[in-house]
Chain A
């Protein structure tokens, strides 16, 4: 028995064009193929031409000696580091600038956005004046303007040096802060060798506060009772820190320190050593209390010395091995071992010995103030420095992006319907709680997505740092390294990849936050 089925129409090629079922697909495939072909043509052309010019990409230069110095670094770097290291210095500077800018811009933006809606006429007009002024003038002009204000209006550091009568032209603010045309000099903190315990305590306290806040929220959503968070949180952070500080200080103020000196003989003290050697180079890790007090000790002994600050042990070690340093402060307990260790590593076959001087390490945390150098070129020693380019960029980027964020925040708040606030008010919720519990949670849904773009804008705009010579990644890898090696193609490629990766990372993190905040539909 034969069953006759309807014959299946055979597929014909012409269907690809005449059959509406396939036609749109055909067009898309052909377009994609042409597009890829076009890209391949461009790419192949570029490679062929670059090859002809002898410009094939080669990233070997990242491993070669950079040879230039960078004014501001967050990680150890000197002129004998590699170009790769210089790029890393730039990356950290960019990250610092972006982090500082984003956080301040957010605070400024939220404040200005809320205040622009204020019922107080003066406040709201002032805020619209700020927003319109900043977002309608190019960022570069603001950077130049603020930088010019700092370099032109601030006095040079030498005006802080007292003259023969002991009177200086300019006095430091509170005796601790000096704003000059080279930068602002501020006090810095130094930690004892057990300083990490304090950081650990702080971290644990912050975790505890996080869980307290979570608990308070849970109680509130279950029972409606509001658990106070602020005061307990302050207590949780401050009390353990104070306890840790005093406990550690009790140990460190009894820890004896001494000096290990290259070329020192048996039972020599600092004065005889410095007489023998001329002018010792004192090398210290700037953030260690023992080292800072060691410097103080040498100054009080009125010994002529030069100081160098390092970031870490390995840097100082290599400086010793190369002979640029010959004096270091160490705990008495390990002094002999360190001296033996150094003697082994020294390049010029000298012997390191322990001096007879003794002093106490000091408190767990000590403040190091900037002071005018007594001899040589007038400059500030000790403490920290925020350079003018960094300040100018920070202020300009924050204020500029803050103006855009303010508008975003204002739009977000206005998007919450009036009925919501009126209903909440009818329930007797007070105005500040109303903003916190009713308006902001709903406004955030609208605010966060454009906020991500603003953060990305600020991060990319930080590359304008080149205008005021702040050594960000554009200034090191894309500036000096590019100039010195002539590897424009490679440098620009790496720059592009870095900014792309950073932007994607920021939007990734912000999108997680956005997903947590957006309306949950169940």
Chain B
């Protein structure tokens, strides 16, 4: 009997999820704002600034999608999620889009019933150690105490890597990036491991970033991307093609500075025209206005602009484009054509 009561309580949650997943675009439009799940605070990717306005690399994706739908990049409610709560939040309909350094994996895509709409950052798991530890390679970490965010793929990669290399270690599971930072700086763990981009972002907030190094080993493939609930393909398409529009915009040389000018009248380049809605009606095909891509690009610029502004080499995070360059520059960013 206890079991049935328990299941009964679950039913309610199930029903809520069922209703929410019906037609996300209509829900979002009716609400007047999109709910976007982000981290609880990772400088450069998603963190509120001094005025409480969310900004960052992942935040810009949320804003671009909101701009594509509403024409206004501020029509977003940001919902901070932890590594543990993010999937429940998305599945239950609390958020419409999750842009939170989430690794695209088979089981998340299939078993957990989500759809990844693309990759906005190609990452890999790395290690950060204090210089004073005197370690220059992850292979020297035998016996180290390692801080690790629990409930993430990094936890599994870490166990596999150390097992393959026959290195012993002591895991210290922690819940949030802030807690990891505090424990790491207090010396309660010798090593902090998470995605290399996250490590760089964390290090940028230290008082003395120069005292800490990132080890050269990258031990996993971590394609990070935004994701939506499985089953509402219309909404998934909007998110996917907004991301592709940002990537294509960089490839085609459309920036936040010249987008207004380029979309005022048809240009010589038909692909730019189709993307910006001055030719054809791609917007109508996904249920949006003709200038959806123009709005998305105007909200925060193209992919390259977003990257340089939030996490690029000129910022304290200081990440190079690397794998995240356009395919024409030897990177992996490759948007399907807009036609």
Contact = CB atoms under 8 A, between A and B. Distances in A.
A151 B186 contact: yes
A390 to B, nearest CB: 13
B267 interface: no
B257 interface: no
A486 interface: yes
Contacts of A195: none
B4 A479 contact: no
A484 interface: yes
Interface residues of A, number: 50
B215 to A, nearest CB: 13
Nearest to A155: B187
Residue of B133, B173, B174 with most chain A CB atoms under a 10 A cut-off:
B173
Contacts of B1: 39
A420 interface: no
Residue of A55, A379, A469, A484 with most chain B CB atoms under a 10 A cut-off:
A469
Interface string A65-86: 0011111000000111000000
Contacts of B113: 54
A479 B150 CA distance: 8
Interface in A44-97: 45-47, 49-50, 52-55, 67-71, 78-80
Contact of A46 (B2, B7, B112, B166): B7
A158 interface: yes
A80 B189 CA distance: 24
Contacts of A40: 4
Interface size class for chain B?
A: 35 or more
B84 A42 contact: no
A154 B183 CA distance: 12
B141 interface: yes
A47 B143 CA distance: 48
Contact of A486 (B4, B112, B145): B112
B292 to A, nearest CB: 32
B151 interface: yes
A281 interface: yes
Contacts of A388: 188
Contacts of B83: 483
A504 interface: no
Interface in B289-309: none
Interface stretch (B9-17, B240-248, B278-286, B326-334): B9-17
A67 B156 contact: yes
Interface in A144-187: 151-152, 155-156, 158, 181-182
Given A281-B166, A479-B151, A377 B190 contact: yes
B14 A156 contact: no
B135 interface: yes
A469 B18 contact: no
B11 A80 contact: no
A43 B8 contact: yes
A483 B143 contact: no
Given A80-B163, A376-B140, A47 B170 contact: no
A401 B7 CA distance: 33
B160 A67 contact: yes
B166 A469 contact: no
Which 10 pairs between the two chains have the least Cβ-Cβ distance?
A156-B187, A42-B8, A43-B4, A46-B7, A483-B151, A79-B159, A46-B11, A49-B14, A469-B173, A67-B156
Interface of B: 1-8, 10-11, 14-15, 17-18, 83-84, 87-88, 107, 111-113, 132-133, 135, 140-145, 150-152, 155-156, 158-160, 162-163, 166, 168-175, 183, 186-190
Given A40-B4, A151-B186, A484-B155, 18 more contacts: A42-B4, A43-B8, A46-B8, A46-B14, A54-B113, A69-B171, A71-B172, A79-B163, A151-B188, A181-B187, A182-B145, A306-B168, A377-B133, A379-B143, A379-B144, A479-B151, A496-B2, A496-B6
Interface of A: 39-40, 42-43, 45-47, 49-50, 52-55, 67-71, 78-80, 151-152, 155-156, 158, 181-182, 281, 306, 308, 324, 373, 376-377, 379, 388, 469, 471, 475, 479-480, 483-484, 486, 488-489, 492-493, 496
